[in-house]
Structure 1
Amino acid sequence: MEDLRKAEQEVMASSPDGALMQHAAAGLAVICARVLRERTGRVSGRRAVLLVGPGDNGGDALFAGARLARRGVAVTALLTSEKAHAAGRSALATAGGRCVEAGPDTAVEAWTHLEAADLVVDGLVGLGGRPGLREPAAGLVERIPDHAAVVAVDLPSGVDPDTGATGPSHVWADLTVTFGAAKACLLLPPASAAAGDLEIVDIGLAPHLPPEPLVGRLAAPDVARLWPVPPPSADKYRRGVLGVVAGSAGYPGAAVLAVAGALRTGVGMVRYVGPADATDAVRSAWPEIVAGQGRVQAWLLGSGVDPEADDEQPRAVRAALDEGHPCLVDAGALGLLPAELRSHASVPDRSDRLLLTPHAGELARLLGELGEDVHREEIETQPYRHALAAARLTGATVLLKGSTTLVVRPDGRARSQAEAPSWLATAGAGDVLAGIAGALLAGGLSPFDAGSVAAFVHGKAAARASGGGPIVSLDVAQAVPATVAKLLQH
């Protein structure tokens, strides 16, 4: 976030006074007019309410409101602070809009305006905000009617700009219009859900920003660029051999699904290591697999493994971790990691070799074993913070599974992928994801790239398989080849 603030200051220093805000407001007004037309059929004659705080986001909203008023929109600004942008207030009044002080004495009037609104523009809090809103802003947000379209300026008010954490009161936007580049909170859960759809207005910041943002999101062209397409001379070994230690007597299906994800992703060969019952199940489903140890380029460890079981799987996991190959550490293997970490005097940086793939409950258990007392609910409230803590404590790259999947490195860099439909919340989906990511590790991608590319493809394959309806995990694996083929066509 500091990079964005610095870029804005550099652009403002080289621009006429107020030009940057006018540029932002112009883009915001165009998008608000489009939203009104899409939601109500026209712009003129509609009602817009601006929720305006003391900062620049409030100024953006006021100047955009003035532009809407000149197009025939009835615009009312509800001001939560006497420090609301003076020039913006004047511009709105000149264009025919109204400003109402939103205090106890005017609460009923403010609520009446909100109830009649076709569009609500949130300009309450900007980059200096923290989770939660205070009065009178919290009361206004609570009164936003369901029928109104909500457009947030730069970010939904009441969320943490840096971590994506939310407080008890915050704006739920249908659309967030941000300027220059996406702020971290717009990509990090849970705030990313509150942001709704995202549109970026170019205000000339790009030359002043670093080439790689702290928090990013892969799009289809990025995934196509990173995908390990085999050359004409490739053989199965050059395409990558993935070793899989997965499954147990109680969970043979996890092994079947993990191998399915890997094979459908295009790995050259899978070497499967597991107990006899699970091996039979995997061989029956996938005759291509080779059972037993051998040369590999990467390991997938832990799906369906019981770390306390009296079988050979925990030993096989530990042996694979010691080999030095890239490893995806999932499910049961996560429980074996703390003991392995305690064998080191300090935490080595293994973010280029280890990819951990917990869900929130598994991450809470892992952090607990590493000395961090945290509950699942806390992780779901601040996932980036806790995934980063795990990355730093283990020296690994961490993929935290969820409706929005985070991939976080120990240096704080992160990617946030949210392509999956809600139907993907089904048993075995994480095993398929592990297979996809493991295959990409074997194909030569770094853990950071393998995790984020896998999350993207996993979500897109689920959407393709679902078609808007229910799915099971094997459906997702079966849809991976067509999903990848479509990506590579562009």
Structure 2
Amino acid sequence: MRHAHTVEQVRAAEAELMARLPAGTLMQRAAHGLAHAVLDLLDGGYGRRAVLLVGSGDNGGDALYAGALLARRGCRVEAWLLSPRAHEGGVAALRAAGGRVVRGVPDTASHTERAERPDVVLDGIVGIGGQPGLRPEAVAALDALAGVPVVAVDVPSGVGVDTGELDGPHVRAALTVTFGTHKIAHLVDPAAAACGVLHLVDIGLDLPDAPLEALQPYDVARLLPRPAPDAHKYIRGVVGVRAGSARYPGAAVLSVAGAASGLCGMVRVVGDPAVTARVRESHPEVVGEGRVQAWVVGSGGDEHAAEALATATGEGVPVVVDADALAHVTGRLPAPAVLTPHAGELAAMLGVERAEVEAAPLAHARRAAWTYDTVVLLKGRHTLVVRPDGRGRVTTTGTPWLATAGAGDVLGGLIGALLAAGLEPYDAASVGSWLHGAAATLASDGGPLVAGDVARAIPDAVRGLPGRPVL
């Protein structure tokens, strides 16, 4: 599991550890990890040039000590001190190693010949305690070095560390080297998109439970329901799908495709006879009405969505509520549920503008989960799954090619199958989202795809998990 902790949690853990270690040990651990990550990025240090952008905090100290290590590896290192104060020990260490230290942004910085441009910039401007946005001198330094790859120290300066939000200028990194644990900004957009590749350095922190986490392949393999040797189709679970309409028949086909990927024992489809007939043409294994352990409702439901939602939630089994059915959720539902809106749908449910949700997805997903007292899955580049208590998971699998019509219908069906197979809503939503992204990556193989490709790749995504679970 990849964990993301808050600034308060990290600082408490650092204070506890520093009380047991010689002074400066923690910073040296961070600096060594940072320096080696930069050396890996540069494929060595000899003959390279690095510029350190240094603020007044400890991450500026991390950058300075890392710069000293780079200088000892033959790298030409120059530190630009962007604050009246800088870590004195770090400045001394860099100078002793042969590095150069200047105050502010050098007058010649924006006019340096291309051949003299640095190979890398280390962003030590603002640490995890900083507020979103940057001061003018930091913006000027970044402008002078535009086009040079940036390695962010702990987090890209200027992002909202505990929120994942942006408010003003910020660093956009090629690589972010963080220490002890991931922070929320590393996983939650829009800040996560500014982090580039993430590299975690273990510095020995003892941390409490994290408010946000990201499943990894071993977690998915552990959570995924697997058929017992004596299993039959009813034991493995039956999911019902109420989706599609005369206007959107394909939504039912794709919802069933996600549900019928082999993760539960049976799929039932209920609705317009013409729509269900079309579904059975594509999926002859699907059957009609009967008892189910979970429902999927709403995709392409059009004017029938309200009735489908009321009927499904009246049975008391878990329900995946998607698309058109979301407009009819006005309060706590009478059955366990997973709501699966995209940003526009969540905005309508909360009475805000879509842009507000996109600027602060975690805050709005948490608000919706609390408001409706259920699990909310907010679709996006990094999909969020949030419980009513505010804890959440973020999905980091997937590909930009997954932004295609019908992909959400497949996801809803997949989550419904996992609910029917016995997972709780929180686990079903987060495992389903992870598999959906992994299947899309496999199906895409670097190129375009359509929603049906994602459904067909789900079995391969499961086979690729550690331990090779058997469908």
TM-score tier by shorter-chain length is: over 0.9
Indicate how the Cα distance of structure 1 residues 126 and 273 shifts in structure 2: closer, same or farther if over 3 A, else same: same
Query: Can you list the C-alpha shifts for 1:176-234, whole angstroms capped at 9, x where unaligned?
Result: 111011111101111111111111111001xx212x31111111111111110111111
Describe the SS at the equivalent of 2:231.
coil
Residue aligning to 2:459 = 481
Question: CA contact under 8 A between 1:76 and 1:113: conserved in structure 2?
Answer: no
Residue aligning to 1:359 = 342
Indicate how the Cα distance of structure 1 residues 273 and 260 shifts in structure 2: closer, same or farther if over 3 A, else same: same
Deviation at 1:145, TM superposition (A): 3.0
Residue aligning to 1:129 = 130
| Counterparts of 2:15 and 2:111, CA distance in 1 | 37
The aligned amino acid for 1:301 is V
Residue aligning to 2:246 = 249
Query: Can you list the C-alpha shifts for 1:285-340, whole angstroms capped at 9, x where unaligned?
Result: 11111122x2111111111112xx2x4x42231121132211111101101111xx
Describe the SS at the equivalent of 1:236.
coil
User: In the TM superposition, what are the counterparts of 1:35-46 in structure 2 within 5 Å?
Assistant: 35-37=41-43, 42-46=44-48
Deviation at 1:349, TM superposition (A): 11
| Counterparts of 2:299 and 2:293, CA distance in 1 | 18
Question: CA contact under 8 A between 1:420 and 1:459: conserved in structure 2?
Answer: yes
| Counterparts of 1:76 and 1:382, CA distance in 2 | 36
| Counterparts of 2:341 and 2:400, CA distance in 1 | 18
User: In the TM superposition, what are the counterparts of 1:317-328 in structure 2 within 5 Å?
Assistant: 317-328=309-320
Question: CA contact under 8 A between 1:397 and 1:410: conserved in structure 2?
Answer: yes
Deviation at 1:141, TM superposition (A): 2.1
| Counterparts of 2:152 and 2:143, CA distance in 1 | 15
Residue aligning to 2:13 = 7
| Counterparts of 1:44 and 1:169, CA distance in 2 | 33
Describe the SS at the equivalent of 1:17.
coil
Query: Can you list the C-alpha shifts for 1:122-169, whole angstroms capped at 9, x where unaligned?
Result: 1111111122111111222233332x3321111111100101001231
Residue aligning to 2:88 = 86
Residue aligning to 2:415 = 437
The answer as to 2:27 corresponding to 1:29 is no
Q: List 4+ stretches of structure 1 deviating above 4 A.
A: 347-350
The aligned amino acid for 2:128 is L
Question: CA contact under 8 A between 1:301 and 1:328: conserved in structure 2?
Answer: yes
Unaligned segments of structure 1, at least 5 residues: 342-346, 369-373
Describe the SS at the equivalent of 1:487.
coil
Residue aligning to 2:282 = 285
Question: CA contact under 8 A between 2:109 and 2:144: conserved in structure 1?
Answer: no
Indicate how the Cα distance of structure 1 residues 482 and 168 shifts in structure 2: closer, same or farther if over 3 A, else same: same
Unaligned segments of structure 2, at least 5 residues: 1-5
The answer as to 2:172 corresponding to 1:172 is yes
Question: CA contact under 8 A between 1:150 and 1:175: conserved in structure 2?
Answer: yes
| Counterparts of 2:392 and 2:32, CA distance in 1 | 31
Question: CA contact under 8 A between 2:52 and 2:122: conserved in structure 1?
Answer: yes
The aligned amino acid for 1:277 is A
Describe the SS at the equivalent of 1:255.
helix
| Counterparts of 1:112 and 1:451, CA distance in 2 | 52
| Counterparts of 2:107 and 2:217, CA distance in 1 | 47
Indicate how the Cα distance of structure 1 residues 113 and 26 shifts in structure 2: closer, same or farther if over 3 A, else same: farther
State the Cα RMSD in Å: 1.7
Query: Can you list the C-alpha shifts for 1:447-488, whole angstroms capped at 9, x where unaligned?
Result: 211111111111111111111111111011011111101114
Residue aligning to 2:3 = none
Residue aligning to 2:323 = 331
The aligned amino acid for 1:160 is G
Query: Can you list the C-alpha shifts for 1:368-412, whole angstroms capped at 9, x where unaligned?
Result: 1xxxxx211111111111111111111111111111111111212
| Counterparts of 2:107 and 2:370, CA distance in 1 | 48
| Counterparts of 2:189 and 2:113, CA distance in 1 | 31
Question: CA contact under 8 A between 2:176 and 2:199: conserved in structure 1?
Answer: yes
Query: Can you list the C-alpha shifts for 1:51-79, whole angstroms capped at 9, x where unaligned?
Result: 11111111100000001011110001111
The answer as to 2:35 corresponding to 1:52 is no
Question: CA contact under 8 A between 2:109 and 2:145: conserved in structure 1?
Answer: no
User: In the TM superposition, what are the counterparts of 1:134-283 in structure 2 within 5 Å?
Assistant: 134-146=135-147, 148-205=148-205, 208-210=206-208, 212-283=209-280
Residue aligning to 1:344 = none
| Counterparts of 2:334 and 2:363, CA distance in 1 | 19
Question: CA contact under 8 A between 2:9 and 2:207: conserved in structure 1?
Answer: yes
Residue aligning to 1:299 = 295
Describe the SS at the equivalent of 1:290.
coil
Question: CA contact under 8 A between 2:313 and 2:333: conserved in structure 1?
Answer: no
Question: CA contact under 8 A between 2:295 and 2:416: conserved in structure 1?
Answer: yes
| Counterparts of 1:382 and 1:349, CA distance in 2 | 29
| Counterparts of 1:297 and 1:447, CA distance in 2 | 12
The aligned amino acid for 1:261 is G
Question: CA contact under 8 A between 2:316 and 2:334: conserved in structure 1?
Answer: no
Residue aligning to 2:67 = 65
The aligned amino acid for 1:278 is V
Indicate how the Cα distance of structure 1 residues 111 and 165 shifts in structure 2: closer, same or farther if over 3 A, else same: farther
Deviation at 1:6, TM superposition (A): 0.9
Residue aligning to 1:371 = none
The answer as to 2:431 corresponding to 1:453 is yes
| Counterparts of 1:204 and 1:423, CA distance in 2 | 38
Question: CA contact under 8 A between 1:35 and 1:149: conserved in structure 2?
Answer: no
| Counterparts of 2:405 and 2:347, CA distance in 1 | 20
TM-score by length of 1: 0.91
The aligned amino acid for 2:453 is D
The aligned amino acid for 1:469 is G
